[in-house]
Amino acid sequence: MERTEAQKRVKELRERLEEYGYHYYVLDAPLVSDAEYDRVMKELISIEEEYPDLISDDSPSVRVGGKPLPFFEKVEHQTPMLSLGNAFSADDLRDFDRRVRQAVGDEISYTCELKIDGLAVSLLYENGRFVRGATRGDGTIGENITANLKTIPAIPLRLKEAIEVEVRGEAFMPKLSFERLNDEKLKAGEEKFANPRNAAAGSLRQLDPKIAAKRSLSIFVYGIGSLQGKELSSHFEGISYLREVGFKTNEESRHYQYIDEVIAFTEEWLEKRADLPYDIDGIVIKVDSLSQQKELGFTAKSPRWAIAYKFPAEEVVTTLLDIELSIGRTGVITPTAILKPVQVAGSIVKRASLHNEDLIREKDVKLGDSVVIKKAGDIIPEVVNVLPELRDGTQLDFSMPTQCPACESELVRLEGEVALRCINPQCPAQIREGLIHFVSRNAMNIDGLGEKVISQLFDHELIRDVADIYKLQRKELLELERMGEKSVDNLLEAIEATKSNSLERLLFGLGIRFVGAKAAKTLAIEFKTIEKLSQATKEELEAVNEIGEKMASSLVRYFKKPEVSALIEELRQLGVNLSYTGPVNVAQVTDNPFKDKTVVLTGKLHQLSRDEAKDAIEALGGKVTGSVSKKTDLVVAGEDAGSKLKKAEELNITVLDEIQLLEIIGQK
């Protein structure tokens, strides 16, 4: 076949496959048999293999999966993907309706949608072509999983209109696909997935897209993040438009005027949910009018114009075999129920929280009892109650110990607390938990030094306090199990890198009672060095905004301990930074372009992370938002800045580069 003829044939085959796919995966109305679809796809792939220069990013052939990826890069959503507030009862929904009507009046209507139990993603299209797909992440920054999302047949690679749009959807694994996948895992001797949601999330986070391609995933698109060049008046109209241009939307959505109709809809689907070919865990209710949505606005975490009604947690009965005690880093003794394994809300549960001794007494829990288990919020298993009528006389009373299971010190109950606590500062269990906290993400964030590695180092007596982490030697690490040369070198590099962390990370990592991550940053900004902080009086600490009496007293007690002074000096000798090196306070900047300004960050920054840049701008009195509009005052553009930079230029908004940003904030 000549190249000209091949080019023409490729175009014909792609258009045919797009039409076949749209009818099969979006409309659920197949035009041809599976065999015919496969025949056309094979012909397309064979021509593209003969003429590789004819392959394009939007060819249906990419759905078979491309080359493995080295990692997932971080990307910014054009508009933040906020989470929804939750409702758990009809009364909660009526409260939501009352708040909405108080804000915008009685002329409202709601769109009700099934809450698909999958993985939230954003899909970005430019000129009608799918260019990027990402996970929700923290709502602002997600992971680029475009290669994996392209393997989902229900996601159009090219829309029916050449528009620029960012849409939100829920990728999921249908029940039949889930059963088939677990059957394959069982035959291969592998561990099964707990539920379709975990299977979908695990499939889309595979670095090899060919794995995702085999998992038979699907998607429902449920919203628009941003849309250029078209005016819409309602959410329902927007979903209809998305369906017209090629997206798969859920046809069970309904439009209601009154909250009682909404409540009836939730009750209907609570009964019918098991009949669906996919999992749902609730109903999403949205104010339909886009102008009213804008008027209602947002809280810091969620829109005021939408709410998620969560179905009641599934409850099951199983046997409580034992009660296990664990010791936290603050010495609190926490009882955990060890259960006869049972499936709850799609996963096997073997353990459940019992919280404290008072709860065990209140519920009259005995070893061997039949107990009712549920997952709080469909996530955390807990014991709801016992069934004393099922006792047969073999059940045994449980008593909390009087001595610490780890160090045998006497346990105490501090005034005003319900928890038993070990107050021995040398308790090995507390030390281990404290080390795990020190290296955690919000503390020193030492990559590669997780709970298992910390336990291994502790058991081999290589670390006993946080300073020991910075004394670890390559030779002794190589002698440990599962510690190869590359992993040891990477670990030592990661440890070394954290020596330059700003003071607030160290403060939080030290685990000072009542001092959380936010308070640690407030203290670091105020006192600048750990030396000044350690010398501060209770009155000076209480004078700091958001530092109360309990926290101030705790800090004074902590820094009075001789062993703490010795530890800080040891960290200093080891080269660990003990000063605040973050953004300077707004009062210290004479020429501050960010004060009271709305700022958008876009593109890749090299010397700052996105969070660091955001913190710096907010410390200077600016407000960082996710999208460019007429209300935007400044845009900070890094490398490969795209549509946001273009829009800023069109609106004549001032644009700064990273160097200018660093000069303004006085980066160290």
Residue spans of alpha helices (H) in 150-289: 175-187, 196-204, 209-213, 235-244, 259-272
Q: What's the Cα-to-Cα distance from 575 to each of 147, 446, 652, rounded to whole Å?
A: 43, 16, 47
For residues 220 and 169, the answer to whether their CB atoms sit within 8 Å is yes
Give the strands of the sheet with 119-126, arranged side by side.
Answer: 129-135, 119-126, 165-172, 218-227
Hey, which residues does 600 pair with through a beta bridge?
Answer: 625, 635
Rounded Cα distance, 481 and 456, in Å: 9
Residue 110, SS3 per DSSP: strand
Would you put residue 551 in left (φ > 0), alpha (ψ -120 to 50) or beta? alpha
Q: Residue 369 in contact with residue 396, Cβ under 8 Å?
A: no
Positive/negative CA dihedral, 470, 476, 477, 478: positive
> CA 513 to CA 332: how far, in whole Å?
12
Integer Cα distance of 442 and 437 in angstroms:
9
Query: Phi/psi of residue 228, each to 5°?
Result: -100, 135
Three-point CA angle 165, 168, 173, nearest 5°: 135
Q: Could you tell me which residues come within 8 angstroms of residue 479 by beta carbon, excluding any fewer than 6 positions away?
A: none
Cα torsion angle, 60, 65, 70, 74, sign: positive
Residue 87 bridge partners (DSSP): 309
Q: In terms of C-beta distances under 8 Å and separation of at least 24 residues, what long-range contacts does 92-96 make, across chains too?
A: 92/307, 92/309, 93/259, 93/262, 93/263, 93/266, 93/285, 93/307, 93/309, 94/259, 94/263, 96/259, 96/285, 96/307
Q: Which of 420, 401, 236 is nearest to 328 (CA)?
A: 420
User: Which H or E run includes 653?
Assistant: none
Catalytic residue among 11, 67, 115, 210: 115
Strands 654-656 and 254-256: unpaired
On whether the CB atoms of residues 328 and 319 are closer than 8 A, the answer is no
Residue 364: how many CB atoms within 10 A of its CB?
11
d(CA 413, CA 353): 20
Q: What is the DSSP letter of 207?
A: S
Q: Active site includes 115? A: yes
Query: What residues are annotated to the active site?
Result: 115
